[in-house]
Amino acid sequence: MSHTAHIRSHRKPRRSATSSIALRAGVAGGVLSMAAAGASASANAAEPVTQTIELPTLTADMSAQVAQSAAATQQAAANYELRAERDAAAAKAAAEAKKDLAEAKKKAEAKKKAAEAARKAAAERATRSTERATLSASASASASTSVSAPSSGSVATVIAFLKAQVGDAYVMGATGPNAWDCSSLVQAAYKQVGVDLPRVSQDQSMAGTDVPLSDVQVGDILYWGGKGSAYHVGVYIGDGQYLDAANPSKGVVIQDLSGYPASGAVRVL
């Protein structure tokens, strides 16, 4: 035996032909598999990817819910509109009620004032009537002792009656006892002493005797306008003054003759 027979050789064992063929076949197969995989990936990359999204189907229940929601929305809108109309009607009614109350208060106040004015007027008429009676009695008493008044004091009676009417109203066509026009007052005054004068100014300017204005005396009738066509009359009461039923704004008053000179005068007493 060789002295090296027990030492293993360091050479690699030689592969058999079968192993080499198998190795080559395996390598070739791997290469082919990788090539096929790459081709498959390229093919997949070339084709577009399409994804289908399915929308939810509107079922009968969902339709009912949508209809109910719409109906509820409409009902809420109707309720809101009705409430707004009611609020507006309530506000209008409150405003009208307030206006009616104010008008009622105003009417009540007007009635109260009218009643107070009527009461005051009645009291004034009563006072005036008393004053008239007193003045008439006083005039009659003074006339009986006067020596300057003609016709046994008839002028004093006329003047007393006229002064008792001061403050009465002027009303066209009125004949007393609390409202007069110019000629009815003169007629009523002279009737107190039995002198029956015509009713209107034109005719009264024709009564009695003409008197120059420079010689006018207490009790003479003054007229304005032409004789026989006079439009106003009054009575001279002395001291440059006359008394007449002037107009609706003044009523029965005493005025200065200088402020409104007469056209002429007549004397009936």
Q: For position 196, which CATH number holds?
A: 3.90.1720.10
Instruction: Report if residue 26 sits inside a domain.
Output: no
- Angle value at C-alpha 62, between 57 and 63, nearest 5 degrees: 100
Q: Are 151 and 193 in contact (CB under 8 A)?
A: yes
User: Which pTM value belongs to this model?
Assistant: 0.47
Query: Does pLDDT of 247 surpass 60?
Result: yes
- Domain residues for 181? 129-267
Q: What is the pLDDT of residues 151-197, one digit of tens each?
A: 447 999 999 999 999 999 999 999 999 999 999 999 999 999 999 99
Task: Report yes or no on 196 lying in a domain.
Answer: yes
**89: in domain:** no
DSSP string, 192-215: TTT----SSHHHHTTSSEEE-GGG
pLDDT above 90 covers a percentage of the chain that reads: 43
Q: Is the pLDDT of residue 22 over 70?
A: no
Element (H, E) at 162: helix 150-164
pLDDT band at 39 (very low <50, low <70, confident <90, very high): very low
User: What number is the average pLDDT over the span 62-84?
Assistant: 80
For residue 146, the number of C-alpha atoms closer than 13 Å in the C-beta half-sphere is: 16
Question: How far is residue 235's CA from residue 208's CA, in Å, rounded to a whole number?
Answer: 14
Question: When comparing pLDDT for 16 and 195, which is higher?
Answer: 195
Measure the CA angle with vertex 5, ends 4 and 10; round to 5°.
Answer: 75
Q: Would you call 120 exposed, middle or buried from its count of C-beta atoms within 10 A (0-12, 13-18, 19+)?
A: exposed
The answer as to whether 45 is a domain residue is no
Is the pLDDT assigned to residue 23 strictly greater than 50?
no
Has residue 234 been placed in a domain? yes
Give the mean pLDDT of the chain: 77
Is 176 inside any structural domain?
Answer: yes
Domain count across the chain: 1
Would residue 198 count as lying in a domain? Answer: yes
pLDDT attached to residue 221: 98
Residue 226 lies in a domain: yes
